Amino acid sequence: MLGLGLLHLVALVIVVVLVGVWRKRSKPKAPEYFLLPDAPKDTVVLHQYGAAPSVPSISPFVMKLETYLRVADIPYIIISSCSNDSVYFLSRPSLELFLSFLLPDAPKDTVVLHQYGAAPSVPSISPFVMKLETYLRVADIPYINKYDRWPGPKEKLPWIQYNNQAVPDSQRCVEFLNQERGVDLNKKLGPGELALGHLLRRTCEESLYWILLMWRLVFDPNATIYNRMSIPKPIIWYMRRNAQGRLWSQGIGRHSEQEVTHMMEEDLAAVSNLIGKNKFLFGDTRDCVTEFDCAVFGQLCQLVWQMPGCSVQETIESKYPNLVTFCENMKTTFWPDWDDRLLRAGRKSSTK
């Protein structure tokens, strides 16, 4: 009887979870679009939000597009609406919950990097884990990997523990460690190079990252990379469902495969042209490597080596070989144990 009751309880929990996922993550239905039947010929009809208090539109993308129409002197008509199906809200548990997962016996002044386990072709499936761990290696900061997959204070991985402080978000971790340890990998860069590095990081983390997710979880119907990691199919289903909601809300999930491919090639071409023949972003020697190299490498290594089941790797190798060379240089210089790390996917912790 006890076993039967427990079985019923488990079944009930599963049903509740699935219903919750369905209700919260259901892909929003696209609104019905109506063409203006009497629009003048060769005139753009711009569908947008209404005016805002201090700017003609609350949307920066509306402002971008309407400004383009004005600069290009293209005749247009505005149709205003107030619909917005791109917003959803997330709740976040308190920081105290995560503090209970700190490693109690971590050595002083040693970073504990909480992250996913290894993947088939790259030490981590997360570009932000790769960014942060590469930064730790470049900056020569001692660290311990903890493969617990427990999300940090902002419900994401990676996050770090440093002298019993929990720090979330890869970029915040870098900035925190720079301050705590007096690290400045960008000290040789001038103002223009710092600005360029910032734009490169943003391009990779705010554009290429979402394209990476689209290829892995939407355009690849078999979710090949996750199946190769022996992740249970129900978990893969949940990951796909969750990602599709996020991608739709972010905006990129509304585009076709052809459109996303075009965006990807624009980003890759820009990064490729900026790197040129350099070994690293801003030079050819180890001391030229910056925080921006770590961020760009974190994203690119996923596209170069960990995109089975799609044409992305072939595209990069054929059109942007210097991006492959850049990744090889970073790997050779800072990841001598790369192959060994791929074989330790099941370990709970490891030390640099």
Measuring CA to CA, which residue among 118, 116, 109, 102 is closest to residue 158? 116
Evaluate the omega torsion of the peptide bond into residue 31 and state whether it is cis, within 30 degrees of 0.
no
> Looking at the structure, do residues 260 and 228 belong to the same domain, yes or no?
yes
Highest average pLDDT, of 50-64, 87-101, 242-256, comes from 242-256
Confidence of residue 18 (pLDDT cuts 50, 70, 90): low
Q: Provide the whole-model pTM.
A: 0.74
Determine, yes or no, domain membership for 279: yes
Output 97 or 296, whichever has higher pLDDT: 296
The CA distance from 66 to 80, in Å, is 13
pLDDT in tens, 270-313: 999 999 999 999 999 999 999 999 999 999 999 999 887 678 88
The CA distance from 62 to 145, in Å, is 44
Determine, yes or no, domain membership for 88: no
Determine, yes or no, domain membership for 30: no
Measuring CA to CA, which residue among 198, 200, 201, 243 is closest to residue 220? 243
> Looking at the structure, do residues 253 and 294 belong to the same domain, yes or no?
yes
* Torsion angles phi and psi, residue 252, rounded to 5: -70, -25
Give yes or no for a contact between 270 and 300, defined as CB atoms under 8 angstroms apart.
no
> Looking at the structure, do residues 320 and 216 belong to the same domain, yes or no?
yes
> Looking at the structure, do residues 331 and 224 belong to the same domain, yes or no?
yes
Supply the range of the domain harboring residue 167. Answer: 95-184+345-351
Among 102-111, 127-136, 212-221, name the one with the lowest average pLDDT. 102-111
> Looking at the structure, do residues 226 and 135 belong to the same domain, yes or no?
no
Q: With 70 as the cut, is the pLDDT of residue 146 above it?
A: yes
> Looking at the structure, do residues 198 and 314 belong to the same domain, yes or no?
yes
Domain count for the chain = 3
Confidence of residue 40 (pLDDT cuts 50, 70, 90): confident
> Looking at the structure, do residues 200 and 331 belong to the same domain, yes or no?
yes
Reduce the DSSP state of residue 253 to 3 states and report it.
Answer: helix
Output 107 or 8, whichever has higher pLDDT: 107
For range 259-277, the mean pLDDT: 96
Determine, yes or no, domain membership for 31: no
Q: With 90 as the cut, is the pLDDT of residue 263 above it?
A: yes
Going 326 to 169 to 245 to 60, the CA torsion angle's sign is negative
Q: With 70 as the cut, is the pLDDT of residue 10 above it?
A: no
> Looking at the structure, do residues 100 and 150 belong to the same domain, yes or no?
yes
Find the CATH number of the domain harbouring 210.
1.20.1050
> Looking at the structure, do residues 206 and 330 belong to the same domain, yes or no?
yes
